[in-house]
Structure 1
């Protein structure tokens, strides 16, 4: 169906979010978490997949009750979320892992095209077993929200709660195809057409007026300003806080996984096996502005919805305080 095809293209392009800063939402360094990237290295281990095809890179940061983070992409890595987690690190230990086929969890060369969503779900179940947890708290961003929903549908008894940020809709079927395709394309075009904001950011960066004179470093900066920031952020001027593509993303893996996604509907799982679910969405998130597709479930009291005003797909960069408060509520509330 065309909507799933277009969505696969969007997902396979890779999401380009990083974190607001190495400080908390007040701009002050938090005690006890300054060494967070050392924690990433010190706590790292590999989890063999059950089919023995790959090894998943796994690590942990923070302290307290565990939360498994599911990164976007597919085919990206987990590092872009780390600083956004800093306000929560005194209360939660975040288990971070690169999904199969991603940067730190590669598959044998030439086999990326065989990757599927089903494998992503199976790998998450293997991680649950390895962690010795009966039930998981899952925090998914972007494609990670879809993986969280897929795991919940497959293993509802092993889910304790879900927090979905920059989320995809709760249902995607043939009846939605054309309308979703058209709306998604229009939203992307609108975000990418903010020429005044882009021009100001390019000028502030001091890039040559003729892009043909760019150094390799300047060319990378221009790409982030012209294409990454306008799609993911309301505040384009914060482009420096983004990471994107390149070494952070395996395009072949992302394309294969995105293409394997079937239609989905998480509503039966919510009805049969209710768990606390929180959706955190920017009001300008191009995937689903203000999480409108979740509004009926929110009105019915099935999920909790936080709409972050003046924010896009990477809401923690646009509005760090509001995002931190919403994430804390999702992890600790109701």
Structure 2
């Protein structure tokens, strides 16, 4: 399984770079010719012929690194954009860092100027400080959002919750209702008890999908200690509409998932998550629910999020042809829906 998964991931990456029917040698030749014929900046006075002038990056568009104090030490976060409003992206997992949502973060910053767009590595992950076993809790994940709000100095915060981050966003709204401005869910784990029908049906859909792949011999059972197998099993069909076009920044964190942190937070969610979302029916805020039309979780996760916040009359957008990460499969539709929603929030609609 190790070799098969590694080969599959390699083939997928290579296939994504060359369209079906392309001749690889011709394609490489075209790239070389393009490079030779490209108009490069000319060297200034005093520089020898042949000097290549490389423009500096646009530093105004580089993320600002934030170090945010929290219970376990600090959270490593990145901010794009400036403004009085702050939108915080909570990525999926648990046990994954924010590399997973890099393209989402960048795309939102482009489409939503005049706002601070922040993503962060959840506690114990990425550049955030290590955690003790007692700190790997779902309550801690929720309270980290409050730590971010205080650090950013905003009275109310806008949240984007993707997958597991959707539950965290909903739990934050339930436990800090006066501090939440709006929530945009993206194919979320619904902010409902773990044994709710919406939640269990979503996971049943995943299990049935994988069972079908195993029965057909497309996948084989992998060892939990086999990172490429873990990465491949997580992304095929569940995350993407087209498994042959998997961005490298997605496969890497999938393989690097921290099971110590992730499994502990998941177990605490199973046991104690229900109490954190008990007051959602009292919340009245703008809510957007984006679902992937071909997500491996099926439509029930999006429906569950809408049900959990039905008192807020959420807007539900199902993006056809998109999987669990719709900003990868259908970026125009995803960023269009997000921009429209947050622009409406700014206008008070």
- How does the TM-score come out when normalised to structure 2? 0.67
Q: How does 1:146-161 map to 2 (within 5 A)?
A: 146-161=167-182
Q: Quick check: 184-193 or 84-93, which moved more?
A: 184-193
What's the offset of the Cα at 1:127? 1.6
Report the equivalent of 1:276.
286
Q: 1:37 and 1:74 mapped to 2: Cα distance?
A: 32
Alignment CA distance shift 1:311-1:183 (3 Å): same
Corresponding residue to 1:138 among 152, 155, 159: 159
Q: How does 1:105-184 map to 2 (within 5 A)?
A: 105-108=128-131, 111-112=132-133, 114-172=135-193, 174=195, 176=196, 180-181=199-200, 184=203
What's the offset of the Cα at 1:36? 8.1
Tell me the alpha carbon deviations over residues 185-218 of structure 1, each in whole angstroms, 9 at most, x when there is no partner: 34343267469xx98xx9xxxxxxxxxxxxxxxx
What's the offset of the Cα at 1:69? 1.0
Report the equivalent of 1:311.
322
What's the offset of the Cα at 1:184? 2.2
Alignment CA distance shift 1:85-1:273 (3 Å): same
Report the equivalent of 1:231.
238
What's the offset of the Cα at 1:126? 1.6
What's the offset of the Cα at 1:225? 4.9
Contact persistence 1:77–1:248 (CA under 8 A): no
Q: 1:192 and 1:276 mapped to 2: Cα distance?
A: 38
RMSD, matched Cα: 3.5
Q: 2:331 and 2:254 mapped to 1: Cα distance?
A: 25
Matched, 1:327 2:338: yes
What's the offset of the Cα at 1:308? 0.7
Alignment CA distance shift 1:239-1:293 (3 Å): same
- How does the TM-score come out when normalised to structure 1? 0.70
Matched, 1:98 2:108: no
1:330 match: secondary structure: helix
Query: Which structure 2 residue ranges, 5 or more long, are not aligned?
Result: 1-15, 17-56, 220-225
Q: Quick check: 253-262 or 290-299, which moved more?
A: 290-299
Tell me the alpha carbon deviations over residues 66-119 of structure 1, each in whole angstroms, 9 at most, x when there is no partner: 2111111112111222223334324232112111111211325xx246411111
Q: How does 1:20-59 map to 2 (within 5 A)?
A: 39-40=62-63, 43-49=64-70, 51=71, 53-59=72-78
Corresponding residue to 1:81 among 101, 106, 114: 101
Tell me the alpha carbon deviations over residues 159-202 of structure 1, each in whole angstroms, 9 at most, x when there is no partner: 0001111112242265x36x85465234343267469xx98xx9
Q: How does 1:209-224 map to 2 (within 5 A)?
A: 224=231
Alignment CA distance shift 1:183-1:277 (3 Å): closer
Alignment CA distance shift 1:180-1:66 (3 Å): closer
Contact persistence 2:193–2:277 (CA under 8 A): no
Tell me the alpha carbon deviations over residues 1-34 of structure 1, each in whole angstroms, 9 at most, x when there is no partner: xxxxxxxxxxxxxxxxxxxx9xxxxxxxxxxxx7
Q: 1:192 and 1:37 mapped to 2: Cα distance?
A: 48
What's the offset of the Cα at 1:286? 3.0
Report the equivalent of 1:210.
none
Alignment CA distance shift 1:237-1:172 (3 Å): same
Q: 2:306 and 2:90 mapped to 1: Cα distance?
A: 23
Alignment CA distance shift 1:296-1:252 (3 Å): closer
